[in-house]
Amino acid sequence: MPQATDIVLGGDGYMIQPGTYRRSSDGSAESITGSIVLRDFVGGQRRAIQLEPERGWDSEGVGPALFGQGVEPWPYQASHADAVIAVPSSTSRIPSALLADAIYIGIGRYLYRAVAISSPTWSDFTQIADLGSGVTITGLAPFAGKLAIACGSARDITLIDPVSLALTTLQTGEKAYQIIAYATRLAWSDATPGNAARIRLTTGGGLDDRQLDSDIVRMVLHGGKIAIATRSSLYLLGGRSDPANGVWLGEVEPAFTQGMWTGPNDFQTLVSFGGKLYAWLANQLMEWNPNSGASRQGWRSTGIEGRESFDATVAGNWLIVSIRALNGSGQLWAYDGTGWWLMESGIVRAWPISLAGTARSDLLAFRHGSTTYDIYRLSPRDATNNALRSSGAWRTSLLDAGRPESPKIWRSVQATFATPEQRGNPVSTDPVTVEIRYSIDGGATWTSHVSMTISGPPMQSLTLGGPIASPPSSAYLQVEVRWSSVVDWTPTLTGIAIIWDRTDAAARRRRWQMTVQARDRSIERNGGLHPRTAPAITADLWTAWSVGSVLPMRDVDYDQDPVERNVRLIGISEARPSASPGLPPDVATLALTLIEI
């Protein structure tokens, strides 16, 4: 049935004075153009929402270049299938130690030695000792020119001469789980039954010990002292030995008490780096810095979390941590003191050890159930022995242009690559492929924006990307820059520029301005007479304005566009032209302003 009146407001019909109807958008201009520029990458990854412009979200295989002002594929990685070592396991720690000119590791009952630190190339480990059936090596430490070997309760602490490979016993009956060299002496956690909370120390004139509150879990050097983690507390032990009296001068200092043991993986990682202590506690990596002002007696979360940890090490100038993420993936993380970078993901690479420059490399990580392991170079040695990874990606956080509640039209994405010096091999002819992708669904799917293959010699300046052919619309955008086919040079990412248009929500609402006639027996569209009197029409409109409630409205074109919209009457102005000849005294006109809700 056709609409009888010009509009219907709150269920009542009204006739509009000719020439007064206006309908428009509300608010300011619809399109606001802006840009996002990322040009400093200090701080690494692990920033989900772009609160800090220099940090991105997790993406594998890149690291900082130009002291964090750029990003490039990193680090160099090579796999080695070793024909000698026993099969590593992610459930059994592989201890390591540097003695003289070589790295030593223990896998199960066997002790192995790597090639000399000075060797330019890597080869298989050499087995140098078999500690016997039922023995598992739990710790290694250099001591008095020999290597001390801890084997838990299965065997007394054993010393091996690195030249003759002769095995001797430190002292009959002394057994250890954790073992560490400190101040030319040896300290260990007692592995004899009933003494798991006792630390033993050589003094040069005998042995001394200290009793702690609960079982000792890990021991590392930190701040010139021994950091000792038990199942309930963290202690520091310094001091020195007194050979003449056979005692240790120094007492354990309680540093922190967590109060409970949250799981067998607690303190699986305990490592000192940059003057701070890092520990795996309650499924996350915690940083202990009592001078930082952080809560919980100096502990704070680093943002690295997962199901379990497979230890950590300091290699080169990096802290390297191996974990199994909450999604089950193995991850190898690197920390440079300012931020975290994801080195590897996928299979678990456990028990990372520092190679101290052996074979021009810095790090080795084992694979569960395989004698193939991974070797990494974290710092370049020369033009050909670089630290570049064959592929990698830098991914931004979720970008929202400061307005997460508003959809944006993402018009352009452009990446700049620049370096004031030659990086990598200056005469390389390697063709490197660089691609820019974007995602509007939080990284669930990706769309390729532009890709280019650049053949050497290396370029020091390059701009890639520009306007997007079919600009997407979303509240968030992620951008990813990917490198592949990298051998000995790569463009260095130094900036990402994004241009967007924001659709203002206020401009998507309708606004009406019109003058309504209030008179008795008004003639409606169909020729009929309106049933309400002029005073009733006037009173209804003033009531709607004063109450301020939301009213359903059928517009003048409802017959063609049958949509009922919710509006609010926000402005009203009444005029009574009673002095006009021929008009009844109750006739009025009411100028209305309505806005869509």
Q: Per-residue pLDDT tens for 95-139? A: 999 999 999 999 999 999 999 999 999 999 999 999 999 999 999
Model confidence at 294: pLDDT above 50: no
State the Cα–Cα distance between residues 174 and 246, nearest whole angstrom: 16
Angular region, 327: left φ>0, alpha ψ -120 to 50, beta rest: alpha
Percent composition of the chain: helix, strand, coil (DSSP 3-state, to 5) = 5, 50, 45
What percent of the chain has a predicted confidence (pLDDT) above 90? Answer: 80
Please compute the mean of the pLDDT values over residues 517-546 and round it to a whole number: 93
pLDDT of residue 579: 53
More confident residue, 491 or 28: 491
pLDDT of residue 521: 85
State the Cα–Cα distance between residues 545 and 570, nearest whole angstrom: 6
Model confidence at 466: pLDDT above 50: yes
Model confidence at 295: pLDDT above 60: no
Q: Name the E strands within 284-329.
A: 284-288, 299-305, 308-315, 318-324
Of 75, 58, 77, 79, the residue nearest 367 (C-alpha): 79
pLDDT of residue 282: 86
Model confidence at 68: pLDDT above 60: yes
Residue pair 589/575 in contact (Cβ under 8 Å)? The answer is yes
> Token pair for residue 322?
């191996």
Confidence label for 255 from pLDDT (cuts 50, 70 and 90): confident
Model confidence at 364: pLDDT above 90: yes
Please compute the mean of the pLDDT values over residues 246-270 and round it to a whole number: 83
Strand partners, 203: none
> Token pair for residue 529?
């007479």
Q: Per-residue pLDDT tens for 192-210? A: 999 999 999 999 999 999 9
Confidence label for 511 from pLDDT (cuts 50, 70 and 90): very high
pLDDT of residue 422: 84
Q: Which residues contact 581 (CB under 8 A, 6 or more apart)?
A: none
Confidence label for 392 from pLDDT (cuts 50, 70 and 90): very high
What's the residue count for the chain? 597
What percent of the chain has a predicted confidence (pLDDT) above 70? Answer: 94
Amino acid in the structure at residue 531? P
